Amino acid sequence: MGKEVRQLEPREVWNKFADLNEVPRPSKKEGRVIRFMLDFGTSLGLETFSDSVGNVIIRKPATAGMEDRKKVTLQSHLDMVHQKNADTKFDFDTEGIKMYVDGDWVKAQGTTLGADNGLGVAAIMALLESTDIPHPFLEALFTIDEETGMTGAMGLEGGVLQGAILLNLDTEEDDEIDIGCAGGIDVTATRSYTEEPTAAGSVGYLITVKNLQGGHSGMDIHKGLGNANKIMNRLLYNATEAFDIQLSEIDGGSLRNAIPRESFAKIAVKNDQVIDFESRLKQWAAIIKAEFAIKEPELELTAVKIDTPEKVMHKTVLEKLVRAVYAAHNGVYAMSAAISDLVETSNNIARVEVKDGKMKIGCLTRSSVNSAKMDVANALKSAFELADFSVGFDGDYPGWNPNPDSAILDVLEGKYASLFGEKPQVVACHAGLECGILGQNYPEMDMISFGPTIKGAHSPDERASISSVRKFWKFLLEILKDIPKN
């Protein structure tokens, strides 16, 4: 099925994307894709090297007649979010992505596609390999670990890059030009507890929340999609209020930057409460499904009997856990006062793990206003500390302040209008782009972000528009022709 993708136009981009998707490239495990990119640049006879953290830089001289133009840094990240459906058998550490064509979309079989940011990487690779595309001096910057901490961008030292202009190819709507983004911080709550034997005469249940849409915890946070961790917690809260349930395990969500699609909990219910418990759980499930009928029509909430767990947590610990997660904010916290319809601040309760006497809850808080970001982080910290959790902050990265007077923005706006007969949308986004981090060491660099249309990023529903990739490629080539002179 990958052969079908390789026949798409522009072939130079889709073939490079197919090559890239044969290389496993999870965040924080980018060794193979780093070697792949180093071998690629070296095979072209171009200046190629990696820095101390693993970012790859490849430089290509300007084509004839373009030597007097400003130098351009093209930037995309090598890693991809790894998400799959529960019933999909796939090993992200060893297998290449299995792609197929569905109308105007390229999709993957039950996994994320890697178009975020693989199509940006592929476009840059196609430019580096080209022999007939006019362009100024090009410097390709392939960063690592964008999806789980942006440590590649953070680790890039000043003085390495030569470009005066940075084109970040990580935006996911082809009619948008991004000039700003949100910053973020990881909030992690942990707590230990002493397990105790399950009460005699108890019946085990596996509660499942699944088939939610999921999505990007920044770009999709305003859509009101279901969060599996919050839905599971709601069920557990109701159950603890009405019955003497005992909790053994919770396994909910996965990555911080993905809205959780699934959650699983193992509990025990006293035998004399089983009939009432099953009846009430069906009622609660029906209420929740009715609330999400439009946004999450495939939502499934089930409870099936399993072997009774041997160990559970004490009821008072369970009560503190469910109250803390209930109190913790999830979703949009504030909209921007400066830019219409832009989410300013949000939080994603991304991961809930309870097992073997340990609890861990992971959140990603985003905001384009640093003080607001920390305000929400401190609110989460307070909620979890009241339940005797220890709370830590990590992975703090800055936002990217918009520059409406950008010279390269003028070039892109004019070029887009002349090519496509309409004005582009000049926006800031609620996702985390690396421009803000890179700008700390390269404050004079003129930065902009754009890309092809990608839907469902960070979920197995991720898909890339074929017609949009053609549009994006045409736009990129025309931009390079009109880079200003030094």
Residue that finishes a domain, picked among 397, 423, 446: 397
In a domain, 284, yes or no: yes
CATH number of residue 6's parent domain: 3.40.630.10
Catalytic residue among 79, 139, 173, 461: 79
pLDDT of 326 > 80? The answer is yes
Domain match, 201 and 326 both:
yes
In a domain, 486, yes or no: no
Helix (H, G, I), strand (E, B) or coil at 10: coil
What per-residue confidence (pLDDT) applies to 403?
86
Alpha helices in 114-209, H assignment, sequence order = 115-129, 151-155
What per-residue confidence (pLDDT) applies to 339?
83
Domain match, 458 and 353 both:
no
Determine contact, residues 347/331, Cβ cutoff 8 Å: yes
Reported as a single tens digit per residue, the pLDDT across 378-425 is: 999 999 999 999 999 998 999 898 888 899 999 999 999 999 999 999
- Residue 267: pLDDT band (50, 70, 90) is very high
What per-residue confidence (pLDDT) applies to 148?
87
Q: Which helix (H) or strand (E) holds 408?
A: helix 407-420
Domain match, 273 and 307 both:
yes
Which letter, b or e, does each residue of 388-427 get, where b requires 16 or more Cβ atoms within 10 Å of its Cβ?
ebebeeebbbbbbebeeebebbebbeebbeeeeeeebebb
What per-residue confidence (pLDDT) applies to 330?
98
Domain match, 160 and 194 both:
no
pLDDT of 448 > 90? The answer is yes
In the chain, the number of structural domains is 2
Determine contact, residues 365/376, Cβ cutoff 8 Å: yes
Strand partners, 10: none
What per-residue confidence (pLDDT) applies to 422?
97
pTM (2 d.p.): 0.82
Domain match, 272 and 377 both:
yes
**Mean pLDDT calculated for residue range 298-326:** 97
Which letter, b or e, does each residue of 189-222 get, where b requires 16 or more Cβ atoms within 10 Å of its Cβ?
bebebebeebeeebbbbbbbbbbbbbbbbbbbbe
Residue that finishes a domain, picked among 338, 367, 397: 397
Q: Which helix (H) or strand (E) holds 410?
A: helix 407-420
pLDDT of 43 > 90? The answer is yes
User: Which of 68, 79, 224, 212 minimizes the C-alpha distance to 144?
Assistant: 79
Domain match, 381 and 465 both:
no
What per-residue confidence (pLDDT) applies to 404?
83
- Residue 275: pLDDT band (50, 70, 90) is very high
112 φ/ψ angles, rounded to the nearest 5 degrees: -60, 155
What per-residue confidence (pLDDT) applies to 337?
87
Q: Would you give the distance in Å from CA 175 to the centre of its chain? A: 21
Residue type present at position 90: F
Domain match, 42 and 135 both:
yes
Domain match, 171 and 198 both:
no
Task: Quote the tokens at residue 82.
Answer: 């790894």
Active site annotation includes 146: yes
Determine contact, residues 31/50, Cβ cutoff 8 Å: no
State the chain's mean pLDDT as an integer.
Answer: 96
What per-residue confidence (pLDDT) applies to 463?
97
Helix (H, G, I), strand (E, B) or coil at 37: helix
**Percentage of the chain exceeding pLDDT 70:** 100
- Sign of the C-alpha dihedral computed for residues 153, 154, 160 and 163 taken in this order: positive
pLDDT of 127 > 70? The answer is yes
In a domain, 126, yes or no: yes
Determine contact, residues 122/16, Cβ cutoff 8 Å: yes
Of the CA atoms within 13 Å of residue 445, those in its CB half-sphere come to 28
Domain match, 222 and 339 both:
yes
Domain match, 162 and 73 both:
yes
CATH number of residue 318's parent domain: 3.30.70.360
- Residue 21: pLDDT band (50, 70, 90) is very high
What is the residue range of 353's domain? 185-397
In a domain, 167, yes or no: yes
pLDDT of 1 > 60? The answer is no
Strands 358-367 and 183-192, by their bridges, are antiparallel
What per-residue confidence (pLDDT) applies to 149?
84
- Sign of the C-alpha dihedral computed for residues 161, 166, 167 and 173 taken in this order: positive
- Residue 237: pLDDT band (50, 70, 90) is very high
- Residue 325: pLDDT band (50, 70, 90) is very high
DSSP string, 118-138: HHHHHHHHHHHH-SS---S-E
CB atoms within 10 A of CB 231: 23
Residue that finishes a domain, picked among 397, 423, 454: 397
In a domain, 193, yes or no: yes
Helix (H, G, I), strand (E, B) or coil at 143: strand
Quote the crossing angle between the two packed helices 115-129 and 11-20, to the nearest 10°: 120
**Mean pLDDT calculated for residue range 127-149:** 96
| DSSP code at position 329 | -
Q: How far apart are CA 69 and CA 63, in angstroms?
A: 10
Domain match, 359 and 456 both:
no
3-state SS string for 85-120 = CCCCCCCCCCCCCCEEEECCEEEECCECCCHHHHHH
Alpha-carbon distance values, 426 to 12, 181, 332 (Å)? 28, 12, 22
Catalytic residue among 30, 145, 146, 462: 146
Alpha-carbon distance values, 403 to 305, 340, 400, 427, 444 (Å)? 57, 16, 9, 11, 12
Q: How far apart are CA 26 and CA 17, in angstroms?
A: 16
Reported as a single tens digit per residue, the pLDDT across 189-214 is: 999 999 999 999 999 999 999 999 99
Domain match, 112 and 153 both:
yes
Reported as a single tens digit per residue, the pLDDT across 83-120 is: 898 889 999 999 999 999 999 999 999 999 999 999 99
Of the CA atoms within 13 Å of residue 76, those in its CB half-sphere come to 26
Active site annotation includes 482: no
Q: How far apart are CA 179 and CA 192, in angstroms?
A: 44
Reported as a single tens digit per residue, the pLDDT across 77-89 is: 999 999 898 889 9
